[in-house]
Homo-oligomer: A and B are copies of this chain.
């Protein structure tokens, strides 16, 4: 990035032009220090500042001890409606409290996530919110734990959305329960052979949803060896790839559980193109209930999470809790059955290939 040269109007300029000291100018403009500046003097200084187009240097203010009013938000991908909704909640609460939100986009890279946290710490962010799923990696987890630990120890706040196994304030969406509910619902419909389109198992959220789903199936007496696990990226393209694998291997599954709505979207594209009828040939379910799901035809069964509220909650937890406590706020998951699920056809055999 280019280096900003000087040439800015400084407080000293305003002071000189007004014939007062920088101290007085600061007090007049910022009203600070519990001190009062004479009415007329202040008005004159404010007028001069306006005339000179004075803009205080936020870095200098922060350095000199003022508050920074900045929060760092880490997401995997801001175009994913899941993160957009959470971000909206975070931003709303931050705005209420007069803080600005800086967004770091990791594209699901552990390294980048850590780097963003470090950058936010360098900026002395008042709070850091991790919106994405954690990674199942010991090194990552230790490093992140240390970062957040220091963040809190030095008076900053932080919070995470989703299970991170970190001793910090946590917003916990119902991943296991929701997936389990979905599993039970599908079994109740008569399904016995399942496929699961999961993102990389290194994402905690993915693991929990899959485990919840499988546990429920097992509890219902479905032999897990019949469940096909399709391991593909946690994205729309990943969903597409999963569906293609399903078709290629000539799967006999009657229901496909995609661990996120965006994956379901991708899968549905491929299935439609291949002429697979949903739900007649295959029931498809997603997770999160992003706004699009209810509008598709057939409308997609999924699990509803109040994402914006989760974002709000995370932001509140981050700023309201000292380093001592690490509360966990659970958000319930609600199974929403729509037209993309139906009892399996009597003769569910299907040709593979594409």
Residues of A within 8 A of B (CB): 1-5, 7-8, 53, 55-63, 65-70, 77-79, 81, 84-85, 87-88, 91, 95, 97-105, 116, 118-119, 121-124, 126, 146, 150, 153-157, 265, 292, 295-297, 319
Contact = CB atoms under 8 A, between A and B. Distances in A.
B292 A126 contact: no
B105 A102 contact: no
Contact of A59 (B98, B123, B295): B123
Contact of A91 (B7, B61, B98, B103): B103
Contacts of A297: 296-297
Nearest to A126: B1
Contacts of A265: 295
B53 A59 contact: no
B121 A4 contact: no
B99 A102 contact: no
Contacts of A81: 79, 81, 84
A46 B103 CA distance: 29
A155 B53 contact: no
Count copies of this chain in the complex.
Answer: 2
B5 A124 contact: no
Given A78-B87, A295-B292, A295-B296, A58 B103 contact: no
Contact of A124 (B4, B87, B153): B4
B101 A103 contact: yes
Contacts of A319: 1-2
A102 B59 CA distance: 15
Contacts of A157: 2
A60 to B, nearest CB: 5
A100 B119 contact: yes
Contacts of A124: 4, 8, 57-59
Contacts of A77: 88
Given A1-B67, A101-B102, A123-B59, A154 B295 contact: no
B295 A146 contact: no
Contacts of A1: 67-69, 97-99, 126, 319
A278 to B, nearest CB: 12
A4 B88 CA distance: 25
Given A59-B68, A79-B84, A101-B103, 15 more contacts: A1-B126, A3-B65, A4-B126, A4-B154, A7-B153, A7-B154, A8-B154, A55-B150, A57-B63, A78-B84, A79-B85, A81-B84, A91-B103, A100-B104, A102-B102
